[in-house]
């Protein structure tokens, strides 16, 4: 049994990560903006799985909140009077779709997205990697997207950063006992698009994945030490095509959400 910290833990893939980790007997530290919703999730998970659930409300676009989460990740567990257990798995899952065009869009929204999906991933991975390498064990799982291989605006750009950053981190961590994995799913049935007000009715059902299957495959890939986790055969094939296609063709395909 170990402790996992999950950001964006109250909805979508984040909530599914919490449940699968808890039912596998991992204690969890759950992070999200909505403190009331975090407490509801914590109460349900404690009752159903019987594990320790630590609630950490934080808006990762706010530097002070981000620093608090980073400080929790840095805990090694040997401070007198501190019974908090060190985090053995970090799941950087928090993110959102901006649902706007960049030109003429709200710059504040873009900067918030950058803070949550890029800066927070960098800061929290740094805190976790330092603590984990000191103990000689641990894993970091950063959630990106197949969108990282597309020309899908600032969301795709953020996920491209996460993918490239995680690959580089995995190289640096080799031989330390700590691994880094980037999850690159396609469309997943969650609240993600609905909360952003993005109309996905044109996407055929075959293009959708189910959250439990995505999370199960991601956690299996973390256990195997894989660097890139792309759930489902069809999205593995789509990713291969996107990597091989000329960038002019990729740009012509249009926006991926």
Q: In the structure encoding, which two tokens stand for residue 163, read together?
A: 């993918």
DSSP state of 87: P
155 is catalytic: yes
Q: In the structure encoding, which two tokens stand for residue 166, read together?
A: 């995680």
User: Tokens 């909530």 belong to which residue?
Assistant: 15
- Tell me how far apart the terminal alpha carbons of the chain are, to the nearest angstrom: 36
List CB contacts of 155: < 8 A, sequence separation 6 or more: 97, 98, 113, 117, 145, 147, 257
Burial 117-140 (b: 16+ CB within 10 A, else e): bbbbbebbbebbbebbeeeeebbb
Q: Is 189 helix (H, G, I), strand (E, B) or coil?
A: strand
Q: Is 6 helix (H, G, I), strand (E, B) or coil?
A: strand
Taking the CA of residue 55 as centre, how many other CA atoms within 13 Å lie in the half-sphere pointing to its CB?
16
155, 161, 235, 256: which is the annotated catalytic residue?
155
Nearest to 4 by CA among 56, 39, 40: 56
Residues 152, 255: contact at Cβ < 8 Å? yes
Q: In the structure encoding, which two tokens stand for residue 26, read together?
A: 């991992």
Catalytic residues: 155
């Amino acid at each position: 049994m170990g402790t996992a910290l999950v950001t964006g833990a109250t909805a979508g893939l984040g909530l599914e990560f919490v449940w699968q980790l808890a039912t596998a007997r991992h204690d969890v530290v759950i992070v999200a903006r909505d403190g009331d919703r975090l407490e509801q999730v914590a109460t349900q998970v404690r009752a159903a799985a019987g594990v320790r659930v630590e609630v950490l409300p934080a808006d990762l676009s706010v530097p002070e909140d981000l620093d608090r989460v980073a400080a929790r990740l840095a805990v090694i567990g040997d401070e007198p009077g501190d019974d908090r257990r060190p985090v053995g798995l970090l799941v950087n899952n928090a993110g959102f779709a901006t649902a706007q065009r960049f030109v003429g869009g709200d710059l504040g929204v873009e900067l918030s997205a950058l803070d949550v999906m890029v800066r927070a991933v960098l800061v929290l991975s740094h805190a976790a990697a330092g603590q984990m390498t000191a103990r000689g064990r641990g894993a970091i799982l950063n959630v990106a997207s197949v969108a990282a291989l597309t020309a899908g605006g600032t969301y795709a750009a953020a996920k491209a950063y996460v993918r490239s950053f995680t690959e580089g981190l995995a190289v640096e961590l080799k031989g330390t006992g700590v691994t880094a994995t980037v999850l690159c799913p396609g469309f997943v049935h969650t609240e993600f698009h609905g909360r952003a007000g993005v109309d996905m009715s044109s996407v055929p059902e075959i293009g959708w994945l189910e959250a439990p299957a995505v999370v199960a495959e991601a956690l299996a890939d973390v256990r195997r030490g894989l660097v890139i986790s792309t759930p489902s055969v069809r999205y593995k094939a789509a990713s291969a095509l996107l990597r091989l296609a000329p960038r002019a063709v990729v740009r012509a395909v249009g926006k991926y959400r």
